[in-house]
Amino acid sequence: MPTYARPRPGDPDSPRLLARSDSAGASHTFAQTCRDRGVGFSFGFPVDARVQRIVDAIPASCWHPAVEPGDGIRDGAWVTEISTAIDLSKWPEGSRLILRKERPHPGAQLRFTDADGMRITALLTDTAPGIIPGQAAGLELRHRQRARMEDRIREAKATGLRNLPCRGLAENTAWLQAVLTAIDLVCWSQLIGFTDQPDLARIEITTFRYRVLHVAARITRSARQTHLRIDRTWRWAPAIATGFHRIRTAFP
């Protein structure tokens, strides 16, 4: 990371960075390293026996609705803060512990740490009160949104990232650049060509490859023009033709 983009502890004009991870990143060493370098953190936190005892004693009135982007209410989910009810002295000063309980989706198996049919999760953060709108609910929403990055990593693996490493640095660099270029091309194609087709605009790369990139077609030439003849029996043929036309006209 270039120097100008790095956090500068004590400087109010410093860039603000946040490290988010699941519970695998919730270590005292990592949290302290983030603090020393001026990076905020939001980690998944294990629901151990200490946390479970607190969950069992929380009154219903202390749970508040979880939120969605745009200030919407997340159906069947509630959050609360238990920072004053648990010993966080081994974590950096100002650390806070947020809980969420939510009804599992149909068919999901409950865990031993779940209570009253609700799935319990926890997060640890050092973000001070008043920084994020919505207090505990806002912090929980911010942490939950890390799943988007995990989705991108999964798609990158499906695009070829899982084939790393190669033998040398140059080969790794070239392959990584090719993977990132492929991801960008697919993302922009979905954004430009298929915004009105949810079953093509919001699908992952594996499905997009099957529905769009692997469609049967022939390249023909007529009147000094090149044409792509898509299999008319393919379910998404009209949407693909429209999408390809949009992409071509977007870059004259």
Q: How far apart are CA 197 and CA 236, in angstroms?
A: 10
Do 133 and 239 have their domain in common?
no
* Site of tokens 């990371």: 1
Domain carrying residue 61: 3-145
Q: What is the pLDDT of residues 181-195, one digit of tens each?
A: 999 999 999 999 999
Do 189 and 159 have their domain in common?
yes
Q: Is the peptide bond before 69 cis (omega within 30 degrees of 0)?
A: no
Do 27 and 140 have their domain in common?
yes
Do 140 and 154 have their domain in common?
no
Q: Is the pLDDT reported for residue 219 higher than 70?
A: yes
Res. 106 pLDDT band, cuts 50 70 90: low
Do 66 and 139 have their domain in common?
yes
Indicate the SS3 state at residue 158. Answer: helix
Q: What is the pLDDT of residues 160-169, one digit of tens each?
A: 988 888 888 9
Tell me how many domains the chain contains: 2
The pair phi, psi for residue 249, each rounded to 5°, is: -75, -20
Q: What is the pLDDT of residues 31-79, one digit of tens each?
A: 999 999 889 999 999 998 899 999 989 999 999 999 988 778 998 899 9
Do 134 and 35 have their domain in common?
yes
Q: How far apart are CA 162 and CA 149, in angstroms?
A: 16
Do 22 and 112 have their domain in common?
yes
Q: How far apart are CA 191 and CA 184, in angstroms?
A: 10
Do 136 and 170 have their domain in common?
no
Give the global pTM.
0.65
Which among 89, 115, 145 is the end of a domain? Answer: 145
Asked if 220 and 229 touch (Cβ cutoff 8 Å), the reply is yes
Do 214 and 186 have their domain in common?
yes
